[in-house]
Amino acid sequence: MPEGDTIYRAARALQKAIGGKVVTGFDTGLAKLARVNDDAPLVGRTVEKVESRGKWCLISFSGDLILVTHMLMSGSWHLYRTGGVVVDGKGSDAGGGSDGGMGGCGVQYSGGRVSYGAVSGTK
């Protein structure tokens, strides 16, 4: 089970890899995430910051959007050297593979719990 220090290290690694980069692709197998992405697409948004809060990993995007993940018992984030970022739900709850412009980095999330919503206010 991932503990607080694991989530903290994952958030720091993600911040270093994708912080300040522009999302070039997004894909998910989760209907809830797909609906939100249809209304407020992630492609073209900048990853403003990645941080941990307790056992949660939060990825904040420009335009007041945030991807919130909880690793539960077996969730994990993976970084790949590619051409951009795509969040890919094939075989995982959400994540990112890629092609296109995030400084050669792809991101994929496996397992755990994922939600996505507005940053404004206190969620």
- Determine the structural domain holding residue 91 and report its residue range: 4-118
pLDDT tens string, the chain, 123 residues long: the values are 567 778 899 899 989 888 998 888 787 777 888 888 899 888 889 999 999 998 888 999 999 999 888 877 777 777 776 554 444 434 333 444 333 334 455 676 766 555 544 332 222
Domain count, the chain: 1
Our separate counts of H helices and E strands in the chain read 2, 6
Among residues 41, 51, 55, 123, which one is catalytic? 55
Q: Has residue 57 been placed in a domain?
A: yes
Among residues 3, 21, 32, 90, which one is catalytic? 3
Q: Is 3 a catalytic residue?
A: yes
The rounded distance, in Å, linking the Cα atoms of 50 and 63 is 15
Q: Is 41 a catalytic residue?
A: no
Instruction: Supply the pLDDT for residue 81.
Output: 64
For residue 41, give the CATH number of its domain: 3.20.190.10
Query: What is the value of pTM for the model shown?
Result: 0.71
Q: Is 51 a catalytic residue?
A: no
